[in-house]
Copies of this chain bind each other. A is one copy, B any other.
Amino acid sequence: HRILLLPGDGIGPEVTAAARQCLEAVAAGFDLSFAFDEAPVGGAGIEACGEPLPAETLHRARTSDAVLLGAVGGPAWDAAPRRPEAGLLALRRGLGLFANLRPVKVFEGLEDLSPLKRDRVVGADLLIVRELTGGLYFGEKREGEYEAFDGCAYTREEVERIARVAFEAAGQRRGRVTSVDKANVLATSRLWRRTVEDHAQAWPEIALDHLYVDAAAMTLVTQPARFDVVLTENLFGDILSDEAAVIAGSIGLLGSASLGAGGPGVFEPVHGSAPDLAGRDIANPAGAIASAALLLRHGLGLPGPAQALDAALADTLRAGVRTLDLGGVTSCTRFAASVCERLD
């Protein structure tokens, strides 16, 4: 299995290295062989080649089996003509990664970290399925001095293929899909709702309901345990998945999978590049490690090793091993080593 590492910027390289270490421990334990390669993206891409997604990086991503990404961005490129984030968007588009999966759950022993009261978060375990290559992100843009425009378009096919991902996932979970839109205002949301409803006909065993995005933003906080799979479009998914990360207590704990139709997927922590923490070995690698587990499961089709890594991560956290963001003192490398020890 060829795994391409795209460490990126800020704490990206540190958490990527930690996750790689865990993948190597998994390989040793399960008698697998991973070949790691590395390429620049984001600000690192701009430094190396003047591009947030160098052509060579995209090429190497395409010919790998899965991509593990760290994080991109930072104040160093605030004034740059190209933004590091553009590398992320180009990678999603270039690999056709239309499905972004963000599982959110409360780790045992960390319930008290959440800003939400304990009775609200207990039992919360949800999966956000976000459409990733459509909507306002990739629509026509015009930016003048006095006016600007962003276009938001969706086709029935685009909605259908992401709906399929959500319904499939719900079938393997608690059998419930909540589709989030703004159908009382947006034409694209009405297409979205109609298409999801049509699609649901083929899934009689899945319970479907709809929420407006404003109501969803409220309910995610008041009753997070009400959700199983949340299906939504690109921008709503961006907002709601960051909001939902709060439930877990720290955005540093969560991983994500971005999947296309057959090609390699990209796996990355939900947190950003946190430039202020970079280079100090204090970042929380849990999100990158959770992403590595998603890579094993969805990227390489290795559910057994994925489960072992997830369990080792949960054990580590349950044992009270915590980085700074979780109120602990454990370093990034030491945290990864703890996870690895539990994999032996």
Instruction: Output the nearest chain B residue to A138 by Cβ-Cβ distance.
Output: B185
Interchain CA distance A184-B153 in the complex, whole Å? 19
A115 at the A/B interface (Cβ < 8 Å)? yes
- A215: B residues at CB distance < 8 A: 242
Q: Quick check: B185 and A85 within 8 Å, CB to CB?
A: yes
Chain A 184-229 interface residues, beta-carbon cutoff 8 Å to B = 184-188, 190-192, 213-215, 217-218, 220-222
Of the stretches A23-31, A141-149, A166-174, the one at the interface is A141-149
Interchain CA distance A187-B148 in the complex, whole Å? 6
Chain A 224-281 interface residues, beta-carbon cutoff 8 Å to B = 235-236, 238-243, 245-246, 251
Interface bin, chain A: 35 or more
Q: Quick check: A221 and B221 within 8 Å, CB to CB?
A: yes
Interchain CA distance A242-B143 in the complex, whole Å? 30
Type the 1/0 row for A132-175, where 1 means its CB is closer than 8 Å to any CB of B: 00001100011111111111111111000000000000000000
Main secondary structure, interface of A, reads helix
Chain A 267-316 interface residues, beta-carbon cutoff 8 Å to B = none
- A321: B residues at CB distance < 8 A: none
Q: Answer whether A156 and B149 are a contact pair too, CB < 8 Å, given A214-B239, A215-B242, A239-B217.
A: no
Taking A143-B191, A145-B156, A146-B156 as known contacts, 5 extra A-B pairs with beta carbons closer than 8 A to each other, sorted by chain A number, are: A115-B221, A148-B191, A150-B188, A213-B238, A218-B246
What are 24 of the A-B contact pairs (CB < 8 Å)? A73-B184, A85-B184, A89-B185, A115-B120, A116-B117, A116-B221, A137-B185, A141-B186, A143-B190, A146-B156, A147-B154, A147-B155, A147-B156, A148-B188, A149-B151, A149-B187, A150-B151, A150-B188, A213-B239, A214-B238, A217-B239, A217-B240, A218-B243, A221-B246
The residues of A with any CB-CB pair to B shorter than 8 Å are 73, 83, 85, 89, 115-117, 120, 136-137, 141-157, 182, 184-188, 190-192, 213-215, 217-218, 220-222, 235-236, 238-243, 245-246, 251
